[in-house]
Structure 1
Amino acid sequence: MKITTLLMVLTLWLPGAFASNGPAVARVNDEEISALRFERYFAEYLEDQGRALGSIRNPKAYKQLRQKALDALIDRELLWQESQKRGVVISDADVSNQVEQMRTAMGGAEKFARRLEDAGFDEAGFAEYTRRELAAQQMFAELTKVAEPDEQAVRAFFDEHRSEMSQPETVQARHILVKVAQGADAATEEAARLRLVEMQGKIAQGADFASVARTGSEDASASEGGELGYFSRGRMYPAFEAAAFALKSGELSEPVRTPLGWHLIYLQNHLEAVDVSEAQGLEMVRAYLARQRQVQVRQQVLAQLRADNRIQRIDGD
């Protein structure tokens, strides 16, 4: 959790926190989740997703986000309660270590104490929050342990998908095209090249390549800012390909002549060929299958906790 967000939601786990701060939005067994607790968690939820409240213009999308945040907060409460049922104990040393990490991250004891005071909390309250957060995390980790993937399944998956793991050298590029018909006279040829050189100069002086492409390119990709996406060798005209693969990311080519006319190429990204060995491939598959299984188990565990406990959603947003 981000440090700034953590300070904002310090009271989420405190005993009886926000008991008198407006109506409850949900009830988990005998524990109420107050409106204030939920609003503070909703801010954390949006921050973790990289969303800003002001950027959510669609009422339906806003409501869906609130429901997802409430579900996540309920799951958090369920894990804490389950940790207490199962006797999970977080040692004082673990709490102290975690608090010390936070203190260091915030710039030392003085700044840490000032931030807590500004938020209306003391170190004892923060330590209690930390203990409960660690207990919930430990409970979730214990409930979602998964065995290593079966080696036969790993081998079968690897054999089926091996060709997809090795990738040829590819580049991602944009281009500007000034068309010149085959067999055009020298004057027409030079006029087209000079048009491209003029656009090259604008870009060199800071103009956005995509913007120049939209107004100056005669290729079908002009509306997309000259975007060509990723391509490997053998897909483009030889001269175009040679120029593109010779560039480094962020570089602009000199004018390039192909049967279509004159091109200016901007390289966005250059990916080297990837040749995955059998050992590397098998390890990648193990990690992938383990992640897949982990996701399934986490969903199952949370679904079971919801089914085994009394949950009442009161939030009407």
Structure 2
Amino acid sequence: MRSWQQRGWGVVVLALLMGCAEEQAGVAHPPAEKAMERVLAASPQPELARVGEVSLGVRELEIFWEAHPELGRQEAMRALIEETMLWQEAYKLGLHARPEAGFARKQGLVNAFLDEEVEAEHRVDAPSEDFVAILQKNADFPRGYRSSHLVIVVPGTMPGDEKFGADRRRELREERFERAQAWIEASAESLEAKPTLDALLAEAQRLNREVLPAEYQAVVNAHMRFARPAEGDVSQRLPDGWIQVVPEFSRAADLLASEHELGTLSEPVRSPVGWHLLKVDEKLESQPADPREVERFAAAALTREDRAQAYTARLSALLEGARVEMRPERLQDEVPGS
């Protein structure tokens, strides 16, 4: 069986037979006991599987599968069986009396089960100092740069490209980069070795007004802050206001900062976006993350891990003791609604 944990924490399930649409329409739900009696007594045809006393048919699978089209048909069937076991177990434990499961909806019952049997008993409030120290070391904000640049944005496609094949479209894009290279090289010659931000802005205005065709555009981005390439993937621990830049840009900034004074204009740099002229305005040193935030993150990470393990163990126990009858010959791998 494929566990819910493998698809992310939290169970994605549907409303019970009298779903949310009826609730929104103002239709009164029957008491939980009556609703469950109907579910247990139902005998959908053709039957695809039976979980305990509950029969699962084509319609139940179609509804579930339409909500999870990323699954194959057999995967969806297994997931539906898991969900059915969970809400049956929640009902046996009397959790249908809780407010969120008052109308015996599957989602409410599953949530009640997770809350009562997994989440409530597996919460880490005080992570170990060693674990926090490890996270702190990897959570500190990275070293980086503050940089400004002028970029000529090269259009990825232009009207009429759809008439050509893939090879010709690649050739056309390369030809556009060659045209833009000539323009950016001319801009580099006209700017001073250490141009001001105003000079970059003025050059972008000149390009847009006098040089570039309508499909191209010159843009200036000022004072961007980003990590040095040697820091690796730091997307999860960037300070507020920092951005992810394309690798070509960060490598060029790194080389520029190591070989020239701050504020020096680079040679033209190509990236998938277009052609850049950049200058590094400031080197930014590493900054420690807030220890309180790191501790809270550590507690949350350990809690998620403990709950995932507890859930997997509980689901495995349910699977071992469950009476599940499958009708694999009635299942086919096809798209939802087909």
Instruction: From the superposition, tell whether residues 260 and 80 of structure 1 become closer, same or farther in structure 2 (CA, over 3 Å).
Output: closer
Q: What is aligned with 2:134?
A: 160
Q: Which amino acid aligns with 1:65?
A: G
CA distance in 1, matches of 2:190, 2:112: 71
Q: Relative to 1, partners in 2 of residues 1:89 and 1:233: Cα closer, same or farther, differing over 3 Å?
A: same
Give the match for residue 40 of structure 1: 63
Distance in 2 (alpha carbons) for counterparts of 1:241 and 1:37? 68
2:95 aligned counterpart, secondary structure: coil
Matched, 1:178 2:203: no
Change (3 A) 1:128 1:159: closer
Cα deviation digits, residues 285-304 of structure 1 (max 9, x gap): 11111112212222221121
Q: Following the alignment from structure 1 to structure 2, what is the Cα–Cα distance between the partners of residues 281 and 187?
A: 46
- CA shift for structure 1 position 189: 3.6
Task: Give distance in 2, aligned partners of 1:167 and 1:187.
Answer: 35
For 2:181, what is the secondary structure of its paired residue?
strand
Per the TM alignment, residue 86 of structure 1 is displaced from its structure 2 partner at its CA by 2.1
CA contact (8 A) 1:170 1:233 kept: no
* Cα shift readout 1:124-149 (whole Å, capped 9, x = no counterpart): xxx7453x542332122222134443
The equivalent residue for 1:69 is 76
2:88 matches 1:81: yes
Deviation digits for residues 268-315 of structure 1 (CA, Å, limit 9, x no counterpart):
xxx997631323222211111111221222222112111111112224
Q: For 1:29, which of 28, 52, 56 is the aligned residue? A: 52
Q: Displacement, 1:30? A: 2.6
Alpha carbons of structure 1 residues 88 and 147: separation in structure 2 relative to 1, 3 Å: closer
Read off the aligned partner of 1:35 and give its amino acid letter: V
Residues of 2 paired with 1:281 and 1:137: CA distance? 28
Secondary structure at the counterpart of residue 135 of structure 1:
helix
Q: Shift of residue 165 of structure 1?
A: 0.2
| 1:283 equivalent in alignment to 2:296 | yes
CA distance in 2, matches of 1:28, 1:174: 64
1:286 and 1:87 map into 2 onto residues whose CA distance is: 31
Question: Do residues 149 (structure 1) and 124 (structure 2) align?
Answer: yes
Number of positions where the alignment pairs a residue of Structure 1 with one of Structure 2:
231
Query: What is the CA deviation profile of residues 19-54 of structure 1, one whole-angstrom value per residue up to 9, with x for unaligned ones?
Result: 4653112110232101111101111223xxxx6xxx
**Shift of residue 179, structure 1, vs aligned partner:** 7.7
Q: Which has the higher helix share?
A: 1
* Identical-pair percentage: 17
Q: Taking structure 1 as reference, are residues 14 and 33 closer, same or farther at Cα in structure 2, changes over 3 Å only? A: farther
- Aligned-residue RMSD, C-alpha: 5.3
